[in-house]
A and B are shown apart, each in its own frame.
Chain A
């Protein structure tokens, strides 16, 4: 599903953000990406999204090497993944419903499909009653649920989340992670970059740890190897 082969990324500033990364994430897996600030987690995620190009190595997504993917094919690659960020990235001038429907307009879905799909996802993330509300009338946790609904609405095969709970209190963060876990149970691959030590420990999933651009650990378990 996602495979990194000897991938390195050096920014034009000279920063070596990722150094010779090798890993494979299979369909249906749940993977945490951990590491201290500046270790290269976001860079790794940007490489998956093809927002950044690797300086070296190959990235294979859904069996296709994206290294030489044409610029105009990138949108279609991105349709196979739902993305969630720390800052939610909702459109403030649109209702919850429209924020989710927006993602469907973009892939040119039929109005009928949109009318069926959007309420279904709002119900999945537990926001059925808030369809007509604007983002600034929602709590942080609720906003992140909307973002999740938007990420999922086009049935992507994977969800890529960069610190999805970074702006949330521990209880709300736990709720969002649980939701991601439920989504994973339904068959969607989930990759989450996070600093939330307690949650990572509690969920006991596969953890890829990165330190100054190097992958130093890749195993099932807690946030760090030492207990």
Chain B
């Protein structure tokens, strides 16, 4: 029988099956960070179990780190304790840590791919729902809870029921000004926030084939926002070129062996999916969200729909919007370009192309938060930092920052923030903060204009 990409990777990692129950899935790489790992380490210690395969675990500090003065001790006592505990746990259990100050530190879903830790055909987990990002390489990557972090520590395995398979195809040519972020916001707006629950998604079609690895990561990253455990894209020459030569990528003979295997992974003709959707690229416009879940998105040129539903009204109340309203010309207070969705070098190149030679609006506070130390370095080397600084943007150090408002990078109550992150939930960016999700391109343009404007003459040639 013809197999899908997902089947091939999953089946190659099944250790055993429990009759009438879950399967034991072997995990190749386990990424950890400071917020969802301490209780798992504590559990190992309480039960006197050693960490089984420390060399398959990689740690970084990202969620709860300051983005200013990272060379100084962390001011907030609880955050400092949490970050220190990660260092101590990693040391005690022999886990490699790229902590604050290390040149490889960064948001876990930015630093692992750029180091070549993420590779096609792998199974990867992390105590973070956006682990789906790594599926861009044709790996099975998904977020887990802390109890599962402890299970992987103890056995390098998880007990799971095999998810169902969905394929989402987008074919055709994207319109000017439409980025990978718009593609995924469009898909989620079309299908809804729980359409993917119980599924693993494969994105296919010419749009994804032509997309860069950064763009593919943006798309796979947001799979969880439609409820899917993960998203995948078949590995191809773009994938191989990205991985080759990176720090932890296979080398020499090993590379040739892996490459041959990776080339065998794509979904075969005739393979079956439990659910399929297809979209036409020409229908996709630059997107913006107006509500409190990522499915509440419209083309910026459109108007907010009316639903009459209580939950819908609650969301619009929170956002201070009305049904039928257009968001064009709506004033904005903050612009945040960062997060594991859009904080890679390509995202900043796009934003800088819009910003170059212009000044941000005085009404806007604009933050640039690189996804990793390596991206920060690249921004500097490519001269993008100068462009942003000259325009009045504040450049922070790498971390999750205002994506989840765990550190001091919070949006004030009632303020509107155009954000390149992935969640517009109530209070996500700070209590009472109002988040509008958009692409780095639209975010940059908003910072210049001080309000939402249709992608226009400011648009660079993509």
Whether both chains belong to one complex is answered with no
Q: Which chain A residues have a beta carbon within 8 Å of chain B's beta carbons? A: none
